Amino acid sequence: MAQVKAQILETTRPLTARESEVAVLLSEGLGSAEIAARLNIAPSSAKWYLRQVFHKLGVHTREDAALRARQLALSDPADAPVGPEPRPPGAAPRPLTSFVGRERETLELLSWLDEGATRLLTVAGTAGSGKTRLALTVAAKAGEGSRRPVYWTDLTATASPQLIGSTIASALGVFIKPGQSETAAIAEHIGSTPALLVLDNCEHMARDCAKASVGLLADCGALHILVTSRVPLPVEASRIWLLDPLPVPASEELPLEEIAASESVRLFTERASLALPGFAVTRQNAAAVARVCRRLDGLPLAIELAASRVRLLTTAQLAERLEDALGLLTGAGSVGAQRHATLRAALDWSHGLLSPSGQALFRRLSVFAGGWALEDAEAVCPGGMLEPADILPALSELVDQSLVAVERPSGGTRRFRLLEVIRQYADERLRSAEERSLLRRSHSARFAAVAMEARGELTGPKQPAWTQRLEQDKGNLRAALAWGLDAPEGLESGAEITCTLAQVWQLRGEFAEGLMWHRRYIARSHALPRRVQANLHESTGFLAVHAGLGDEARSHWEQAAAIFAEVDDPAAVGRQLHYLAHATMGIDAPRAAVLAARGLALEQEAGDQWWTSACLFALGDASFILGDVDKAADCYSKSQVLARRLGHAFAIARRFVRLGQVARTRGDLEGARRHLGESMRVAQTGSDDWGVTMALAAWASMAASVGSPRTSAMLLGAAQGRLDQYGAVLWALDRAEFARTASTVGALLGEDAFRGCLAAGRTLTPQEIDSLVNELLEPQRPEALAGYAVSPAIRLTPREAQVLHLIAGGMSNQSIAQDLGLSVRTVERHTANLYMKIGVEGPAARTAAANYAFRHGLGPEQDKLAIPRQSPPLRR
């Protein structure tokens, strides 16, 4: 009920709270006396409220008002218990009208699903023959009782063949990892279990849809793909299934029962009774209904258009007028051409009967790609004779006339759409009225505004709702982006949409699409204000680095920094330097330190606390990698103070990770436990997946330091599992530490045991991970060192310490000799001496020595930070 009210309140001439209550009761079929009783108001007041509601809904009778309210979903009692649950990704849309006939076809298609021979099938037929509705019915039945997952993708609004893969992926809610192909990501999602994928409206890209389908079928052994298209897919492997229009009565003279049983007549009757409750085929009207259906070739869409007129015309009048409208059609051409001509004539006829404002709205709605919400139409379509307040009544008229389809609400918003063939017809009208340019401009402005609004919300608590909204408006956003590239006046708002959506593309892994739009806008950017150019470079860098294209990212940030410097925005320059520092960290730490320090100076000067904290963090990382642990500690502490002041939970968790790593490196295991414990707690509370992953990797090193190599390897596995799931790579510092820890515990456990632990770690539940970490929070006897007596008084020479450290890194004497530029004999002597000093011997001496090494802060993870190596063993 709350949702019902909210929707009423969003209309142009808003209903008051009382009027909303009245409208809801009205739509439930109550009369004015009953409404008065229910609301406890005087009957005359109820009547007065009713008049207000009629006026605002643009209707004159109670019947119309109730109908309108129901059709526009101002009230939909049947939906109420369901609530605004979002549709799961890939679920088929649910039309409001029922499906009539086609029993045989439905059964045939369902039995095809149980065959293994040809797993690709095209339902082909002329526009308006009911392909989509049939596919929807098959999809619903195929998924009944969860017999198999059914995925639905509408390709209508996808104009570019490169976007087929990402459209399917996003309809299914599949995250594409950087570097992964869309087909591979979708195939991974679907797997080898029996499933049905429906690709609706493929005709405009038949060749490319064929290619995509063949690829998916090869990867998913039990997948069936059902395609709807006006033209068959041009592949051998596709079965073509031609859908004829509905059977019509063989003659108008047949007995009533036979006429009424014909599928086309059943459809006519069903749709007519929506417009005129109680409509039925009778002895009086049977011949006329049969004539209408025959004249319309049994084309479902044409029949729906005609049936919606029965409120004003008797069936005899309807048949007569259709005769006139269709009379000019010749019988020339193929069957397909005849059906096409029939449908065109039916559309012309239906359109001709619309009110002037209905016609205006109708053609203007063609500017939407993939549907719209009422507020979108109200923002985009007014102009000339069409006032904002006319939109709702005009939309009602189009819904009444079956020209606009209403979808069941998903996620709280009712959406409308034009069937593709009707949209194409409306688009022709829009072009002839010379309004297309104008409408595309206001459409683009509307979706630029939607994107802007989303930008603020995407990091907040409403993020899921906004992500869904942007997903629903994907076609519209793409249309606005395409228009911005075409029209000089749209370039700037298009560029701003592009920058705004960067985060959405990144969140969904749609790097290919995001980078495509960014590159296209950058190619046109000479005509843009410098600041917008810089923003474009900044967000391109953001997408590129997440897509694993480091070089491209750096080049864009450098350009952004140059432009921001030119327009005198030092804080923005500092931000780019911060990005550059992070992106340079893994390849050139000294340079990263310089960049971070310069960024820090700019941000401090500008007084931006957040970016100051970020630059301090980057400078800390660079210093840590360069072995200046004190400086790193200082940077992280200062950075943490600012993060706490700003209350940014993500940042706080990550700084705790670093403080923990610093403490461990300094041998302060107690401090390390405390900081890492905090990092895990804050990250988990804030649902910060990345923070948890970083903390797990740090805990793995901690486990190694306290002599629990098995736990360490399992935590490494857990962290790696999470990284693989997101297709992410750890930051440079964590990556290097990960590699060092892995080589240490690998050497300790032996290859097989190490691999086993890694694999086990991947399958740990969050609870199991928690308990592993909790054990580490308590100081305990290290598992591998039990039994060895160790004396802190033992003094190793610097060379011996160095050799020990390399032994702990898993190196052979031969490679140690190479590394240090010594002979193997010399290394063997050092080894023998240090074995003796630390008291290990026998066949397990080497392993025991490694154990000793990291217990005493001589393990590779502790001091390699201080000794830059030529090629650190990075594990990506």
Partner 1 sequence: MTTDQNKEVVRRFFRAFEDQDETAMTSVLSPDLQAYVHGNAEPVDRDTMLQAIKGWNTVFSGTSFTLEDQVAEGDLVACRVTMHAVHSGGEFQGIAPTGAPITSESLTLERVVDGLIVERRVATNWEDIRQQLTAVSSQPQAAG
**Distance in angstroms (rounded) separating the CA atoms of residues 828 and 822:** 10
Segment contacting partner 1 (CB under 8 A): 1-9, 304-312, 424-432, 814-822? 424-432
Q: What phi and psi values does residue 223 have, to the nearest 5 degrees?
A: -90, 140
**Distance in angstroms (rounded) separating the CA atoms of residues 59 and 71:** 13
- For tokens 């943490």, the residue is 640
Q: Which is nearer to partner 1, 69 or 302 (CB)?
A: 302
**Distance in angstroms (rounded) separating the CA atoms of residues 369 and 418:** 9
Segment contacting partner 1 (CB under 8 A): 51-59, 290-298, 392-400, 485-493? 485-493
Segment contacting partner 1 (CB under 8 A): 66-74, 166-174, 204-212, 378-386? 204-212
Q: What phi and psi values does residue 417 have, to the nearest 5 degrees?
A: -155, 160
**Distance in angstroms (rounded) separating the CA atoms of residues 645 and 241:** 65
Confirm or reject binding of residue 340 to partner 1 (CB under 8 A): yes
In the complex, minimum distance from the CB of residue 335 to partner 1, in angstroms, rounded to a whole number: 4
* Binding test (CB under 8 A) with partner 1, winner from 39, 214, 222, 231: 231
Q: Which two tokens stand for residue 405?
A: 């389809």
Confirm or reject binding of residue 225 to partner 1 (CB under 8 A): no
Residue 120 bridge partners (DSSP): 225, 238
Q: Which two tokens stand for residue 501?
A: 């959506």
**Distance in angstroms (rounded) separating the CA atoms of residues 298 and 288:** 14
Segment contacting partner 1 (CB under 8 A): 429-437, 617-625, 690-698, 751-759? 429-437
Site size for partner 1 (CB under 8 A): 46
* Binding test (CB under 8 A) with partner 1, winner from 28, 64, 79, 244: 244
User: How many whole angstroms from its chain centre is CA 539?
Assistant: 18
Confirm or reject binding of residue 337 to partner 1 (CB under 8 A): yes
Confirm or reject binding of residue 271 to partner 1 (CB under 8 A): no
Q: Which is nearer to partner 1, 381 or 491 (CB)?
A: 491
| Residues 514-543 interacting with partner 1 (rule: CB under 8 A) | 526-527
The DSSP secondary-structure symbol of 254 reads: S
**Distance in angstroms (rounded) separating the CA atoms of residues 365 and 344:** 18
In the complex, minimum distance from the CB of residue 196 to partner 1, in angstroms, rounded to a whole number: 20
In the complex, minimum distance from the CB of residue 549 to partner 1, in angstroms, rounded to a whole number: 21
Residue 200 contacts residue 152 (beta carbons within 8 Å): yes
Reported as half-sphere exposure (CB side, CA atoms, 13 A), residue 656 has a value of 24
In the complex, minimum distance from the CB of residue 344 to partner 1, in angstroms, rounded to a whole number: 7
**Distance in angstroms (rounded) separating the CA atoms of residues 530 and 563:** 7
Confirm or reject binding of residue 333 to partner 1 (CB under 8 A): yes
Q: Which is nearer to partner 1, 334 or 791 (CB)?
A: 334
In the complex, minimum distance from the CB of residue 331 to partner 1, in angstroms, rounded to a whole number: 11
* Binding test (CB under 8 A) with partner 1, winner from 62, 148, 436, 875: 436
In the complex, minimum distance from the CB of residue 17 to partner 1, in angstroms, rounded to a whole number: 45
User: How many whole angstroms from its chain centre is CA 81?
Assistant: 27
**Distance in angstroms (rounded) separating the CA atoms of residues 596 and 579:** 9
Residue 95 contacts residue 405 (beta carbons within 8 Å): yes
* Binding test (CB under 8 A) with partner 1, winner from 230, 446, 578, 654: 230
Q: Which is nearer to partner 1, 234 or 750 (CB)?
A: 234
Confirm or reject binding of residue 555 to partner 1 (CB under 8 A): no
In the complex, minimum distance from the CB of residue 481 to partner 1, in angstroms, rounded to a whole number: 12
Number of separate helices (H) and strands (E) present in the chain: 43, 8
Q: Which is nearer to partner 1, 5 or 239 (CB)?
A: 239
* Binding test (CB under 8 A) with partner 1, winner from 427, 628, 689, 768: 427
Confirm or reject binding of residue 203 to partner 1 (CB under 8 A): yes
Q: Which is nearer to partner 1, 344 or 443 (CB)?
A: 344
Provide the strand spans (E) within 139-250.
150-154, 195-200, 223-229, 238-242
In the complex, minimum distance from the CB of residue 440 to partner 1, in angstroms, rounded to a whole number: 9
Which three-class secondary structure state does DSSP give residue 76? Answer: coil
* Binding test (CB under 8 A) with partner 1, winner from 54, 151, 241, 466: 241
Dihedral of the alpha carbons of 44, 45, 49, 50, in degrees to the nearest 10: -30
In the complex, minimum distance from the CB of residue 257 to partner 1, in angstroms, rounded to a whole number: 24
* Binding test (CB under 8 A) with partner 1, winner from 28, 34, 64, 105: 105
Residue 582 contacts residue 731 (beta carbons within 8 Å): yes
Confirm or reject binding of residue 432 to partner 1 (CB under 8 A): yes
Segment contacting partner 1 (CB under 8 A): 5-13, 186-194, 432-440, 740-748? 432-440
In the complex, minimum distance from the CB of residue 578 to partner 1, in angstroms, rounded to a whole number: 33
Dihedral of the alpha carbons of 382, 385, 387, 393, in degrees to the nearest 10: -100
* Binding test (CB under 8 A) with partner 1, winner from 177, 189, 291, 344: 344
In the complex, minimum distance from the CB of residue 552 to partner 1, in angstroms, rounded to a whole number: 20
In the complex, minimum distance from the CB of residue 203 to partner 1, in angstroms, rounded to a whole number: 5
**Distance in angstroms (rounded) separating the CA atoms of residues 481 and 336:** 35
In the complex, minimum distance from the CB of residue 262 to partner 1, in angstroms, rounded to a whole number: 16
| Residues 456-475 interacting with partner 1 (rule: CB under 8 A) | none
* Closest residue by Cα to residue 348 from 386, 321, 375, 384: 321
Segment contacting partner 1 (CB under 8 A): 29-37, 68-76, 482-490, 633-641? 482-490
Residue 59 contacts residue 65 (beta carbons within 8 Å): yes
CB atoms near residue 117 (< 10 Å): 6
The DSSP secondary-structure symbol of 95 reads: B
Segment contacting partner 1 (CB under 8 A): 179-187, 338-346, 670-678, 737-745? 338-346
**Distance in angstroms (rounded) separating the CA atoms of residues 876 and 177:** 14
Helix axis angle, 709-726 relative to 751-762, nearest 10°?
Answer: 50
Q: Which is nearer to partner 1, 124 or 698 (CB)?
A: 124
| Residues 121-160 interacting with partner 1 (rule: CB under 8 A) | 124, 126-127, 159-160
Q: Which is nearer to partner 1, 340 or 575 (CB)?
A: 340
Q: Which is nearer to partner 1, 316 or 485 (CB)?
A: 485
Confirm or reject binding of residue 601 to partner 1 (CB under 8 A): no
**Neighbour-count burial of 741, counting CB atoms closer than 10 A to its CB (0-12 exposed, 13-18 middle, 19+ buried):** buried
Confirm or reject binding of residue 177 to partner 1 (CB under 8 A): no
| Residues 313-332 interacting with partner 1 (rule: CB under 8 A) | 332
* Closest residue by Cα to residue 226 from 88, 406, 106, 103: 106
Task: Give 291-346 as a 3 state SS string.
Answer: HHHHHCCCCHHHHHHHHCCCCCCCHHHHHHHHHHHHCCCCCCCCHHHHHHHHHHHH
Confirm or reject binding of residue 336 to partner 1 (CB under 8 A): yes
Which three-class secondary structure state does DSSP give residue 121? Answer: strand
CB atoms near residue 743 (< 10 Å): 20
In the complex, minimum distance from the CB of residue 527 to partner 1, in angstroms, rounded to a whole number: 7
Confirm or reject binding of residue 351 to partner 1 (CB under 8 A): no
**Distance in angstroms (rounded) separating the CA atoms of residues 526 and 591:** 31
Q: Which two tokens stand for residue 240?
A: 């073509």
Confirm or reject binding of residue 482 to partner 1 (CB under 8 A): yes
* Closest residue by Cα to residue 666 from 696, 632, 642, 689: 632
Q: Which is nearer to partner 1, 34 or 428 (CB)?
A: 428
Reported as half-sphere exposure (CB side, CA atoms, 13 A), residue 511 has a value of 21
* Non-local CB neighbours of 106 within 8 Å, separated by 6+ positions: 134, 137, 138, 141
Confirm or reject binding of residue 234 to partner 1 (CB under 8 A): yes
Segment contacting partner 1 (CB under 8 A): 423-431, 641-649, 764-772, 866-874? 423-431
| Residue ranges binding partner 1 (CB under 8 A) | 105, 108, 124, 126-127, 159-160, 203-205, 207, 230-232, 234, 241-244, 332-337, 339-341, 343-344, 421, 424, 427-428, 431-432, 434, 436-437, 482, 485-488, 526-527
